[in-house]
Chain A
């Protein structure tokens, strides 16, 4: 059964297999800093054996369709398995799509009454080459949620800074719509794919959501992943200019 739930701002969210449960955990891994969110989400889709249950189409997306193993694939896909719903994209979202996508996606997620909606990303770290174990930072759209997320040992609160692009807008929409929305970031190369940073987030999510996922295969295939993701990273770098992603390297101004 195909169920079209949202069609706003030229964005259509289609459930090819309806998602009717509540208290789900949504994970969003659109490409941005170090492709960290994308690597985490695709790794979990593979390792947890999530099933494709829908897709997102938008007028502002380029007219492209992906082909994998002789099969057509939508660019933005939704996967489901147990309580996890994962959203992934094969292309970076155009800057002009950040706000309408966040609005439509969060309204759709709210209709599912989720337990959590988590964006996954890299935190640009110019000194990344000297860091062997990237730090993980969490931020909820409200302080109580941040406190809950930081209870997992070894993670830090994201205290100050900017979050640009669709991930920042998702936090904003979740905050406004009172959906438990958060972002999890790992210190990462800005414009090189960073499987090492992704592995730290996988470890964090395993503890937070009680998932049984081994990160060893991810670390073992890190170089191969970096090779395969070079073109996506190059295009994502271009998109990041459009949403002022480099702003994440700055701190908000302080007025004394």
Chain B
């Protein structure tokens, strides 16, 4: 039997990995939609990133009301909940629920948040736990 060339083996492996990733992502979509259907909750689109000495979370919460957004934070998590109302149909579509584990510890007393054009932004300073060392 003829052996496959190396490039073919690598390509096949890349395709297999792509298929695996797609399968995992499809599982995540399924879980999100099942949870949304069963609990009438909505998992918002969100981004979490670090910038310098800050941790920044943005979440897309269209149809939320600034006064009704509940934001709870600990040293290593943000929890956001808010009712979501369809601006056109004027009915409650469900409730946004987002619980995010943070990659580093933050100082909750430094948190500031704003809601603009349907997007919530939460910014917190990282907790300083290390020692400053002079480089010689």
Contacts and interface: CB of A to CB of B under 8 A. Distances in A.
Same complex for A and B? Answer yes
Interface of A: 129, 189-193, 196, 221-224, 226-227, 230-231, 233-235, 237-238, 242
A192 B60 contact: yes
B87 interface: yes
Nearest to A95: B18
A201 B18 CA distance: 34
- The contact size tier of chain B is 20 to 34
11 contacts: A129-B116, A129-B121, A192-B45, A222-B117, A224-B62, A224-B88, A226-B118, A234-B29, A235-B29, A237-B45, A242-B18
Given A191-B45, A224-B63, 20 more contacts: A129-B116, A129-B121, A192-B45, A192-B58, A196-B117, A221-B87, A222-B117, A223-B63, A226-B60, A226-B62, A226-B63, A226-B118, A227-B86, A227-B87, A230-B42, A230-B44, A231-B33, A233-B45, A234-B45, A237-B45
B45 A227 contact: no
B25 A238 contact: yes
B90 to A, nearest CB: 11
Contacts of A227: 62-63, 84, 86-87, 93
A238 B29 CA distance: 11
Interface in B27-69: 29, 32-33, 42, 44-45, 47, 58, 60, 62-63
B97 interface: no
B88 A221 contact: yes
B118 A222 contact: yes
Contacts of B25: 238
A193 B121 CA distance: 16
Nearest to A191: B45
A161 B60 CA distance: 27
A223 B118 contact: yes
A202 B47 CA distance: 27
Contacts of A235: 29
A36 to B, nearest CB: 14
B119 interface: yes
Nearest to B62: A226
A190 B116 CA distance: 16
Contacts of A189: 60, 119
A191 B62 contact: no
Interface string B112-133: 0000111101000000000000
Nearest to B15: A96
B87 A192 contact: no
A190 B49 CA distance: 14
A125 B62 CA distance: 19
Contacts of A231: 33
A131 to B, nearest CB: 10
